[in-house]
Amino acid sequence: KPLVFSGVQPTGNLHLGNYLGAIRKFVVLQDQMDCLFCVVDLHALTAQLVHEDLKDQTREIAAAYLAAGIDPEKHIVFNQAAVPGHAQLAWIFNCVARIGWMNRMTQFKDKAGKDRENASLGLLAYPSLMAADILLYRATHVPVGDDQKQHLELTRDIAQKFNIDFSARIAASGHGVELTNGDEVINGYFPMAEPLIEGPAPRIMSLRDGRKKMSKSDPSDLSRINLTDDAETITRKIRKAKTDPEPLPESVDQLEERPEARNLVGIYAALSDRTAQRVLDEFGGQPFSTFKPALAELAVSVLEPINAEMRRLKADPGHIDAVLKDGAERANVRAQQTISEVNEIIGLL
């Protein structure tokens, strides 16, 4: 049965990339499938252990989910730490995955930087916890930005190794299901979760550097549009966004070597649910002095109502906490079933 799982870390500065790469897709998917949307607070500890205001940052992401239009009664909205199964399954997956798999992850290399020996063990094992998040519910679809593609491949590798290593015990337990694995149909326990990445802007880039992803952790606030920015700030950041001096081209192929132009066109396309080519049909040949104000107006019209609703929700943290608690209770019922089946398959007493 199709099931969606995804999450966002409560690491501050929620931005347009998180909205377009993740949250906006959640809102569309909730009409098609059963969904769990998580605030992945345990992941937030991997890059930095001590946070000033982790509880408020957690509420902030939950507020963004609700403000964007996610229905927490039809679906499940919760924080990871409130469901112990995530950490439990992550431990099992630490023993399934190989160190070499983790060492190859580009996010680990980027975030660990030069002093890799001094990165937390949690940062190295991040993808194992992420695999646990998804497979704890045996989710089949994971809406994420393009930067998470490699972690999804690793999630499939973990699922596949578990299914193969324990195939006889899975069959004996009666908890296996028919899974298609390439051309063959096997009886396995964990599904091959598929990333949902497509769209006109799968990776939103920094407004200051078209070759770097827009990120919460970028020290320059001008590099990103935050979901908490007011109309004036959004307009100013787009006006100051780096571009080349040429007018916009007529065709998307001509954006290849122009990362900043391509990024802004992609953002316009994603915010207006059009293809990049449709945007160029309208703006091709025009200078950035015409395109940027139009983009700013569009961004404000989409983000302003979300921003206002987030502020309204955050004024009542008790309500957000109640939504998260209810979600965690419902998630926990499903999680505990998986944990007990996995323990049985492995042979833990």
Q: Write out the residues near ligand ATP by the rule CB under 6 A.
A: 8-9, 11, 17-18, 20-22, 144-145, 147-148, 203-204, 213-217
Nearest-angstrom CA–CA distance, 325 and 323? 6
Closest distance of CB 6 from ligand ATP, Å:
6
Annotation-wise, does 133 bind a ligand? yes
Overall size of the chain counted in residues: 349
Between 43 and 138, name the residue whose CB sits nearer to ligand ATP.
43
Identified catalytic residue from 111, 149, 212, 242: 111
Taking the complex as a whole, the smallest distance from the CB of residue 207 to ligand ATP amounts, in Å, to: 11
Least Å from the CB of residue 110 to ligand ATP:
9
Distance separating alpha carbons of residues 5 and 320, to the nearest angstrom: 20
The answer on whether 9 is annotated among ligand-binding residues is: yes
**Residue 5 is inside which H or E element, if any?**
strand 3-8
Active site residue 237: no
3 state SS of 154: helix
Q: What residues pair up with 142 in beta bridges, in sequence order? A: 195
147 is in an annotated binding site: yes
**Residue number with the shortest CB distance to ligand ATP?**
21
- Nearer to ligand ATP (CB atom), residue 72 or residue 145: 145
Nearer to ligand ATP, 46 or 243 (CB): 46
Cα gap 36→319, rounded to integer Å: 19
**Nearer to ligand ATP by C-beta: 138 or 213?**
213
Q: Cβ distance 26 to 321 under 8 Å?
A: no
When the beta carbons of 17 and 191 are compared against ligand ATP, the nearer one is 17
CB of 233 vs ligand ATP, minimal distance in Å: 18
Q: Does 18 belong to an annotated binding site?
A: yes
* Measured CA angle at 3 (ends 72, 40), to 5 deg: 60
Nearer to ligand ATP, 207 or 342 (CB): 207
Q: How far is the CB of 205 from ligand ATP (least distance, A)?
A: 7
Has 310 been labeled as part of a binding site?
no
Distance CA 291, CA 38 (A): 36
| Cβ–Cβ under 8 Å, residues 158 and 91 | no
**Would the annotation count 146 as a binding residue?**
yes
10 is in an annotated binding site: yes
Pick from 92, 130, 141: nearest CA to 108: 130
| List 161, 212, 216, 242, catalytic entry | 216
Cβ 124 to ligand ATP, closest distance in Å? 15
Taking the C-alpha atoms of residue 115 and residue 200, their distance in angstroms, rounded to an integer, is 36
Q: 167 near 186, Cβ under 8 Å?
A: yes
Task: Please choose, from the candidates 302, 304, 332, 310, the residue with its C-alpha nearest in 3D space to the C-alpha of residue 56.
Answer: 310
CA atoms of 59 and 53, how far apart (whole Å) = 10
Annotated binding-site residue? 217: yes
d(CA 198, CA 215): 19
Instruction: Report d(CA 311, CA 51) in Å as an integer.
Output: 22
CA distance 102 to 49: 20
Instruction: Report, as residue numbers or ranges, the catalytic residues.
Output: 111, 213, 216
Instruction: Point out the annotated binding site for L-tryptophan.
Output: 133
Instruction: Point out the annotated binding site for ATP.
Output: 9-11, 17-18, 145-147, 204, 213-217
